[in-house]
Amino acid sequence: MNFYRFFVVIVSMFVSGAVIAQDVAQKAVLVTGASSGSGRVIAETLAERGYFVYAGARKQADIDELNAIANMQAIRLDVTVQSEIDAAVETVRNEGRGLYGLVNNAGVGDLGPLIEIPESEVDFIFDVNVMGPYRVTKAFAPLIIESKGRITTIGSRAGVLTRVFYGPYSMSKHAMEAFTDALSYEMDKFDVKVTIIDPSGFKSKIGEASFKRMQDRGFNVEDSLYSSEWEAMRMFETEGKIEVENDVPEQIANAVIDTLEAETPQIRYLTVGSKDSAMQAIEGVMRRAVQLNERNKYSLSRDELVEMLDTLLGNQD
């Protein structure tokens, strides 16, 4: 072998080694519900940033579309189907990249008065929004623990602040606030960080899907005790197309990046489209604290409450 050929072989070995090292170092993240809305923005943003994204989707057309994106591998994943979750775990494990991040994004919404909405619809909402993240997190926990990785759930501002007809959806998202707190405590011993991102409303297909399910079950506004409230919402005039034009999906994606890259990520991220929206959420949480403090055996004084708030704010510095 002459010197030139020897040099080429050595360089090739070095380059190949470098490529292999780079592939091994590339962090993998699973995003559920990645076919549209915030999930699609999250998946594409992470892939563009250099992460390898396992993009969960249910429909073959979406899977094919996601597979065409660089740094992305689509996985058939319905978070209500345990066999698909198990198969997804097997796929990720067999790929050999490990799993550094899990983003529980898949979710559904529906509106309706608590005393009128069918129990089957509440079951469906909880199956996707609560049991879905529970199932997926439980199944992928060993891989996340192995990598000392990150788990984040896309919650909602509706999880801390609710209103008329948002009861079932808010109940499911409020559950994820408790899920995050408990899981954060339990994963701390494994150096796994757990977070939740609470967005305000933004343009997505969730309203249209909710409207279609209401139509499919034969809902009639005139039969409701809340017909005037339904009319005020104009949901049936817009067929569920609630347009909220802002940068919330991009904020969500940036928050996900922070959960993955910050040494100490926040436990909660509020991603909203306006200052009013942020103030309403914070005020809602504070109102609940004030109500909890009212006329109990050990109620705190105003000064004690202010001192407690000062202490908590100081702990954030």
Q: How far apart are the C-alpha atoms of 78 and 281, rounded to whole Å?
A: 31
Looking at domain 24-273, its CATH architecture is 3-Layer(aba) Sandwich (3.40)
Q: If we measure between CA atoms, which residue out of 44, 139, 145 comes closest to residue 98?
A: 145
pLDDT digits (tens, 9 = 90+) for 157-202: 999 999 998 999 999 999 999 999 999 999 999 999 999 999 987 6
Contacts of 312 (CB under 8 A, 6+ apart): none
- Predicted pLDDT of residue 12: 39
- Predicted pLDDT of residue 117: 92
- Predicted pLDDT of residue 216: 77
Contacts of 147 (CB under 8 A, 6+ apart): 98, 99, 100
Domain ranges of the chain: 24-273, 275-317
- Predicted pLDDT of residue 204: 54
- Predicted pLDDT of residue 215: 74
Q: Which residues of the chain have pLDDT under 70?
A: 1-24, 202-207, 234-245, 316-317
137 Ramachandran zone, left/alpha/beta (phi>0; psi -120 to 50): alpha
- Predicted pLDDT of residue 281: 95
Q: How far apart are the C-alpha atoms of 178 and 159, rounded to whole Å?
A: 10
Q: Which residues are catalytic?
A: 169
- Predicted pLDDT of residue 203: 57
